[in-house]
Structure 1
């Protein structure tokens, strides 16, 4: 989640609203919300710019942490920045204690102001436009999702396809198993090349159409937060009408399709909803709050959606978000939230917010979620294009519950275990998680998601970046680079 701020005087700032990467100026915190994934590499900054030497940037980052960090007691009394080759590594070292306590799993990081704002305002990023996952053996690479108006889908490559080999030309293709055997999963992200427009790779693909070789070039594209193909639909199940919405990420362009989807549900009198957040790593708090409002037609404006709490010295910044029903809002009687280990931050905020109101009528379907009940503010050093994302606040629901660092599986009152079946499109009633969501809404029995649903390997990925961030259920793990970009943080598995 990312919360937006507006600087007012000097270092003072007030909470101006919710938003995920927005904000500007180095005088005070800019907007931010909780996000969940390992730290991206900042855009290289010319050291000739005044105030932008490595040491000056490191000292600036340390000062911001000492002022705003949610866990100040974990910061070292002093830490020499000299041995660290960049600002990101120094920030990792400063936050190592909280990370070891599982309270800050690389949620505090340095990124580029320019690149982050391009993503949150328009979904802009560069890539093939696919989401990738590895099977549990780490030897098979699958496409779990392909995004509209991006190179892969334009070439006919979609969910369910397997990537057999990767090369820069057809003459030097290397099999996925050979790459992983030699270099581990990091070798796959290296083989796929940098996230810059123009990067070209040759892929050997196997799917329902057979085995073939395709050449894809990474381009700049705008990620559509709600798919035009399967993002919104009404599913008829046993005579019951169920509204289905798949939200890929919480960014500003999500507002219009979200409003349109719930207007459709409202017009049809639908009160049973499936909210598919299975790969949604988070984003703007403002969009998370909108999702809450769109499912809050029967909530009063005095009822709490969430509480935001800073450390004691910053308590003046604490905030309470009340429900604000919208013209498109519905009053759900039963909601199925589809989640996995890639479901984090703003996604978890929405799920947690409805537990005190819907109780066992709000179910978690699929697998355990990531576990990120904290959020970042954005602190900017514009001359250096540095944005420091600092874990500065925690969130709670109306019942003051928010300690879900191990995911929401043990916090929800109802859950149903299900796999992520890439053999079918997202939102297809035959797909395992969608089917389980429909069964939950119908009141059919299911197997509850266990507290240990997250595998040791996936949890290690979440904490230590030693293996990819993975889904908690099923045979695959979302592939993550060692230092993901902002889009890869909020859309885990994105390449």
Structure 2
């Protein structure tokens, strides 16, 4: 039989409590097959290893007598944790230290401000309070969301913001992998939304980037933005970045797993970054600071690409369907028509869509003459809102041109209005996709304002878009729908837009002369799951799409 160490006084005292309660514990002897009584103090250790009075099965820290709970499961016991509920507010100033959805109680009525309709306790409900926002989001989603019959039954009191509550409501659709709404429904403000859709305005450096063969390349810089004014251009490769502590090499940044948030900083602050770039063999250091940026709708001027013995091919790089695009699009169409262009390359590789009214104008400019008075698209709402369905029709504009063949340069950053444009022209114009398949945003968002006195705006998926023949449902891309040809090509970020040797444009031109290698319509739809849209990612990975469905701007 094994020799057992003597129990301490603490063991005996605690064992006495168990014995008084009539506790008897038996254990299998390691030396033979007989059963023998195990000293009660050893059994006690098995029940409560650190003797803090909390059983091991209930103790988050069974070997630490000073801790037994970890409310926010962050690995720090509540006795040592300055923020027990993990809401980012120190317990000392948190009115609800064990409620992650609440931290303040302005009127001291025991109801957290996020759930309180009368935050200041004056007896009058605040129309713009978080509690009011959440109720408004629930009611609006139940009425207008396209798949309103699939919304979750989320407890409104469990969520500290209207956005987190909205995320919970649409979670069944966002997380099902179908790609119907991976994050296209979101909260914003009237000011930010109006700026975004009128001029593409946001706060940032004014560039897009891509990862090509493992390296960071600037893919586009916006004329007039800090990046452009500082000298950054498409095709420049990053060698190192100064985030405030001197230049760190790109390889080092990748190796330690830096994220986009660290590298680019907050989106609402005047962050300064230094970029060391390889500019066609010349190393340059360029320092820029974030500011308000407006997105020019076109990248450069419309181009004519000459062909011996034939009319020129028109090339247009279109960034976004925003109000400021209307006049430049009209001027481009008139320019192409005046020069006899009937074959056109429209570069939508980073165009995530925008306003339906701008898409309507471009449909008329490109297809109005050939399909005048015919249906161009159909907008279909949920079963409760069928009275709002409507149909668009082709019409002619004074600047309309005759487009016979259009090669659309696309990528996974081409979505929404870009896809509507291609899908609606397809029955009337010979079209092809060049590059890679589109994203697959076959739906549109409505803009809902909480009230005239509130800045709160809700962007919500409210309708599906089909072409004039009723064809839609391309939730994993136009090519995936089985109705389009695709000529694969790289987005060669090392060459400027409009360069006839850039892979995508080169392939598009080859399609016109019949020499391009293209794939016929997809034989079967993809079964791959579409993940929810992410706002944080490793900087060495290609950036995910934004919540409009397009390539992100920084």
Residue 172 (1) aligns with residue 172 (2): no
Report the 3-state secondary structure (helix = DSSP H, G, I; strand = E; otherwise coil) of the residue aligned with 2:306: strand
Is contact 1:368-1:454 (8 Å) kept? Answer: no
How far, CA to CA, are the matches of 1:214 and 1:164 in structure 2?
A: 12
Does residue 211 of the first structure (1) align with residue 283 of the second (2)?
yes
Q: In 2, Cα distance between the equivalents of 1:299 and 1:195?
A: 45
Aligned-pair CA distance for 1:321: 0.2
Any residues of structure 2 matched to 1:248-287 within 5 Å, and which? Answer: 248-287=319-358
**Aligned to 2:426, what secondary structure does the other structure show?**
helix
Please show how residues 439-450 of structure 1 align to structure 2 within 5 Å: 439-448=510-519
Give the drift of 1:278: 0.4
Structure with more contact order per residue of length (Cα contacts < 8 Å, sep ≥ 6): 1
2:218 maps to which residue? 143
Please show how residues 73-92 of structure 1 align to structure 2 within 5 Å: 73-76=149-152, 78-92=153-167
The answer on 1:120 being equivalent to 2:197 is yes
Summarize the alignment of residues 9-28 of structure 1 with structure 2, pairs less than 5 Å apart.
Answer: none
- What is the rounded CA distance, in whole Å, between the counterparts of 2:538 and 2:332 in structure 1? 30
CA shift, 1:79, in A, is 1.1
Which moves more between the two structures, 413-422 or 312-321? Answer: 413-422
Matched, 1:395 2:395: no
Going from structure 1 to structure 2, the CA distance change for 1:237 and 1:207 (only over 3 Å counts) comes to same
1:148 Cα deviation after fit: 0.5
Q: Which residue of 2 aligns with 1:352?
A: 423
In the TM superposition, what is the alpha-carbon distance from 1:122 to its structure 2 partner?
2.3
Structure 1 residue 84: Cα displacement: 2.5
CA distance in structure 1 between the aligned counterparts of 2:275 and 2:314, rounded to whole angstroms: 37
C-alpha contact 2:319 2:350 (8 A) present in aligned 1: yes
Q: How does 1:19-418 map to 2 (within 5 A)?
A: 50-76=126-152, 78-99=153-174, 100=176, 101-135=178-212, 140-169=215-244, 171-183=245-257, 187-196=259-268, 198-227=270-299, 229=300, 231-240=301-310, 241-358=312-429, 361-382=430-451, 383-410=453-480, 411-418=482-489
- Higher deviation after alignment, 56-65 or 172-181: 172-181
How big is the shift at 1:418?
A: 0.7
Q: Is the contact made by 1:249 and 1:490 (CA closer than 8 Å) also made in structure 2?
A: no
8 Å contact 1:237–1:438 — kept in the other structure? no
Which moved further from structure 2: 260-269 or 445-454?
445-454
Deviations, residues 106-125 of structure 1 (Å, cap 9, x unaligned)? 11111121111012222322
Q: Tell me if the contact between 1:363 and 1:414 (Cα under 8 Å) persists in the aligned partners.
A: yes
How many Å separate the matches in 1 of 2:163 and 2:293? 27
117-126 vs 194-203, which deviates more?
194-203
Given that 2:202 and 2:293 are in contact with CA atoms closer than 8 Å, whether structure 1 keeps it comes out as yes
Q: Alpha carbons of 1:131 and 1:115: their partners in 2 closer, same or farther (altered >3 Å)?
A: same
- Per-residue deviation, residues 379-424 of structure 1 (Å, max 9, x unmatched): 1124442111111110111121101001011444322111111121
Q: Which residue of 2 is the match for residue 473 of structure 1?
A: none
* C-alpha spacing 1:52/1:390, structure 2 compared with 1 (3 Å): same
Structure 1: 5+ residue runs without aligned partners? Answer: 1-44, 471-475
2-side partners of 1:338 and 1:349: how far apart? Answer: 14
Aligned partners of 2:181, 2:387: CA distance in 1, in Å? Answer: 23
Q: TM-score, normalised by structure 1?
A: 0.80
Distance 1:362 1:268, change over 3 A: same
Q: Check whether the contact 2:507–2:516 (CA below 8 A) recurs between aligned residues.
A: no
| 3-state SS of paired residue (1:292) | helix
Alpha-carbon deviation of 1:356? Answer: 1.4
Q: In structure 2, what is the Cα distance between the partners aligned to 1:364 and 1:469? A: 29
Shift of 1:478: 4.4
How much does 1:480 deviate? 4.4
Q: Distance in 2 between matches of 1:104 and 1:57?
A: 21
Count of equivalent residues: 429
Ranges in structure 2 where 5+ consecutive residues have no aligned partner = 1-113
Q: Distance in 1 between matches of 2:412 and 2:468?
A: 24
Kindly state the Cα deviation for residue 466 of structure 1 after the two structures are TM-superposed: 7.7
Change (3 A) 1:414 1:467: farther
What is the root-mean-square deviation of aligned Cα atoms in Å?
A: 2.9
TM superposition shift of 1:150: 1.1
Over 3 Å counting, the alpha-carbon distance change for 1:297 and 1:157 in structure 2 is: same
Deviates more, 1:56-65 or 1:231-240: 231-240
CA shift for structure 1 position 351: 0.5
Taking a change above 3 Å as real, the CA distance of residues 47 and 200 of structure 1, as seen in their structure-2 partners, is farther
Aligned equivalents of 2:217 and 2:353: distance in 1?
A: 22
Alpha-carbon spacing, 1:418–1:157, altered in 2? closer, same or farther (3 Å): same
* Other-structure match for 2:553: 494
